[in-house]
Structure 1
């Protein structure tokens, strides 16, 4: 009889309290993550634009001309055939070698 009284474990009430706490934390965390998705995509796009601009500058130093996307691709400076930010915005390279978001 003594063995039965010394059993260790969680009660149903303790498990319900833990589940309640986890649920509240999820309800608070998920909307905050969703709000910051646009900011994350924007910063990712800015970083991608800076990377492509750096590749354009490297191409200019090597070949002494302003590159097109095709010339960047064929010489191996950029592997992508189409420049697209993480958020889905398409990028273009103008005649001066400036990278910008494509006008819709």
Structure 2
């Protein structure tokens, strides 16, 4: 029983640093994917309404959920040309 607990402890000690090391990379990739999704919603809004949307109009029209942010908490912005950034 002690040997099994020792092996499990060693595996946990190996796994936890790897997960925490990659969490920043995961957040960055998640934010990039979310920005691509918002760009798609901006294009859909342009086709439907024939104008460049603001972030609040995308929210009120139902194209995006309330307070759209990246998974890491970074705010999303849309400039006057319709380009999405963080």
Aligned residue in 2 for 1:20: 6
TM (norm. structure 2) is: 0.94
Separation in 1, partners of 2:33, 2:9: 35
How far apart are 1:71 and its partner, in Å? 1.4
Aligned residue in 2 for 1:99: 84
**Structure 2 unaligned residues grouped into runs of 5+:** none
Matches within 5 A, 1:1-40: 15-40=1-26
Aligned residue in 1 for 2:65: 79
TM (norm. structure 1) is: 0.79
Number of equivalent positions: 86
**Structure 1 unaligned residues grouped into runs of 5+:** 1-14
Bigger relative contact order, structure 1 or 2 (CA pairs below 8 A, ≥6 apart): 2
Root-mean-square deviation (CA, aligned residues, Å) is: 0.9
